[in-house]
Amino acid sequence: MKLPLPQSLAGKAFVAFVLGAASVPGFAPFYFFPLPIVTLALLLCLWNQLERRLAAFLVGFAFGLGLFGFGTSWVYVSLHDFGAMPVLLAGVATLLFCAILALYPAFAGLFLATIKTSPLPKQLLVFPALWVLLEWIRSWLFTGFPWLAVGYSQVPLSPLAGYAPLLGVFGVSFFCALSAGLLSLMIGMHALRKRCVLLLVALWLAGFGLKQIEWTQPSGSALEVSLLQGNIPQEIKWREDQLVNTLETYRRLVDESTGQLIILPETAFPLFYHHVPTIYLEKFTAHAKKNGGDLLIGLPERTDNNHYYNSVLSFGSSPTQIYRKSHLVPFGEFIPLRPVFGWLLDVLQIPLLDFSRGSPEQQPLKVAGQQVAVNICYEDAFGEEVISQLPQATLLANFSNDAWFGKSMAPMQHLQISQMRALETGRYMLRATNTGVTAVINPRGEVLSQLPLFTTATLRHEVRGYAGATPYVLWGNYAVLLLCTLAITANFMRSRRLLSQAR
């Protein structure tokens, strides 16, 4: 079966752009998980019709523009609506950001066109390995931005999510790309169709079987948690005339909380820790002790040597402990290459820029009879950083302020990222956010309970600490990187063997 694809490069690029945009509903909040696999398969069909490397690069770039242009359009909201960047400049910055991200699928097309091999190994070995390696590079290059890695789309509904506790999100991406390769072969090579169907069914059945395995075990007794969502609008959060209202909102929510573990979101108070009125912290401590547990609150912190940290502090039955954010947001929490980009300080009217980085070797906080692995904001987008506190940690907790993203898809996309972390680690993930999505996620990556966006409320739920380690906790991303290396090596060895036989 030959697909009726355009013959011109411009036509193919347009189709690729549409395919990239059509991939977005595969992620939260829509969760149509087969979509990204189908669009990747059709992208492969486009690449298979191209011989020139530049053409393959441009088609991949168009796919990336569609994917990130629609999937991360919320960057504009952060820059313009809340960062006070002028409309035109915010639009250009967002387009440039999406264009940079689009280079990754563009290079996937370029490298795929460069490697000369037969369709079977190219689509089943080379393509999955290239796609995953480029996603992995995107997760750390220039501090990293792993948003919309295709593996996230499979959590929690798809059978392919079963591979997450073994190989993490990039392992799931590998099997998504492999599934796409099998689909493209079914479309383009009739003789292989039956075998491709069998392989595809086996791949998904194996994932379904893996989903049935309990990799970790409950530990200790159950506890009630109270997750507080203050719903302080971002546009008034830092205004002095709103400070009392913010303090009183959280005081009331704390007073109503019955959980042994009470969690307030990132920068719950727009004050440095040492500026918070003592009476509030004393009341919080007394209330947590009365509940027989502890309270965790996100607060900015300034130390004696004039360093600033985005921190989480504990108060209550246990001694006060501090977690300081390690993975900072460029242009949100610090200005990289200040001599080059320092002018942005005059444009981005965001307070508290240039935080210092907390130690990457911080230990879980021992609170409410649990060991809680804290991650702040989009730190939970980096799986290997989260597992650095495991297997000691019994719970995961994310402290976020997704109000920066307004009424966009970003808060739900961020929730899906947290779902992946819970599944990878076999732990409950507790999310406390300012405006949403505040949620409790179980070790299978399923949302058990969540608060509506933009509401002031407390989410109460009973959870259990978990012990043990998934394979991913033990070996991190090394296993999937080895898998990619083996796939490329196998193709290289096959090509050499065929070349030797031809001689």
Of 24-33, 220-229, 323-332, minimum mean pLDDT range: 323-332
For residue 4, being part of any structural domain is answered with: no
Examine the residue annotation and report whether 462 is marked as an active-site residue of this protein.
no
How high is the pLDDT of residue 1?
Answer: 56
162-191 pLDDT tens trace = 999 999 999 999 999 999 999 999 998 888
Do 382 and 238 belong to one domain?
A: yes
Confidence of residue 347 (pLDDT cuts 50, 70, 90): low
Do residue 287 and residue 209 come from a single domain? no
Choosing from 12, 122, 211, 325, the catalytic residue is: 325
Question: 377 an active-site residue?
Answer: yes
Lowest mean pLDDT among 31-45, 210-224, 486-500: 486-500
Identify residue 416 by its one-letter amino acid code: Q
pLDDT digits (tens, 9 = 90+) for 241-299: 899 999 999 999 999 999 999 999 999 999 999 999 999 999 999 999 999 999 999 99
Asked whether the beta carbons of 427 and 440 are under 8 A apart, the reply is no
Q: What is the total count of domains within the chain?
A: 2
In this predicted structure, what is the pLDDT of residue 351? Answer: 46
Q: Which DSSP state fits 135?
A: H
Among the residues of 348-477, which ranges form H helices?
383-386, 410-425, 471-475
Tell me: do 206 and 249 sit in the same domain.
no
In the prediction, which pLDDT does 499 show? 63
pLDDT at 353 over 60: no
Tell me: do 489 and 462 sit in the same domain. no
First to last CA, the chain: 34
Whole-number Å distance between alpha carbons of 48 and 58: 14
Do residues 278 and 130 both lie within one domain?
no
Structure tokens, 13? 């690029």
Residues 236 and 206 in one domain: no
Going 267 to 272 to 273 to 276, the CA torsion angle's sign is negative
- Domain coverage including residue 252: 218-469
pLDDT of residue 494 exceeding 60: yes
The reply to whether 362 and 342 lie within a common domain is yes
Q: Is 384 labeled as catalytic in the residue annotation?
A: no
Question: For the ranges 17-26, 78-87, 136-145, 329-338, which has the lowest average pLDDT?
Answer: 329-338
Residue indicated by tokens 């639009």: 91
For the chain, give the mean pLDDT.
Answer: 93
Does residue 348 carry a pLDDT above 70?
Answer: no
**2 belongs to a structural domain:** no
**Inside any domain, residue 242:** yes
Share above pLDDT 90 across residues of the chain, in percent, rounded to a whole number: 80
Residue 5 has pLDDT above 80, yes or no: no
Query: Do 265 and 230 meet the contact criterion of CB atoms below 8 Å apart?
Result: yes
Residues 190-206 have a mean pLDDT of: 94
CA dist., res. 131 & res. 176, Å (int): 10
424 and 498 housed in the same domain: no
**CATH code, 404:** 3.60.110.10
Tell me whether the omega of the peptide bond preceding residue 4 falls within 30 degrees of 0, making it cis: no
Residue 372 pLDDT > 70? yes
> Is residue 463 predicted with pLDDT exceeding 60?
yes
Quick one: which of 210, 216, 74, 98 has its CA closest to 154?
A: 210
**Which amino acid, residue 359?**
S
Per-residue pLDDT tens digits for 75-111: 998 888 877 788 999 899 999 999 999 999 999 999 9
pTM score of the predicted model:
0.95
Cβ 248 vs Cβ 382: under 8 Å:
no
CA-nearest of 19, 133, 25, 128 to 66 is: 19
Point out the catalytic residue in the list 45, 176, 377, 484.
377
- Compute φ and ψ for 396, nearest 5 degrees: -110, 145
Mean per-residue pLDDT for 136-158? 96
Mark whether 273 and 401 lie in a shared domain. yes
Pick from 443, 259, 214: nearest CA to 369: 259
Structure tokens at 387: 């597992």
Q: Which of 135, 266, 301, 379 is catalytic?
A: 266
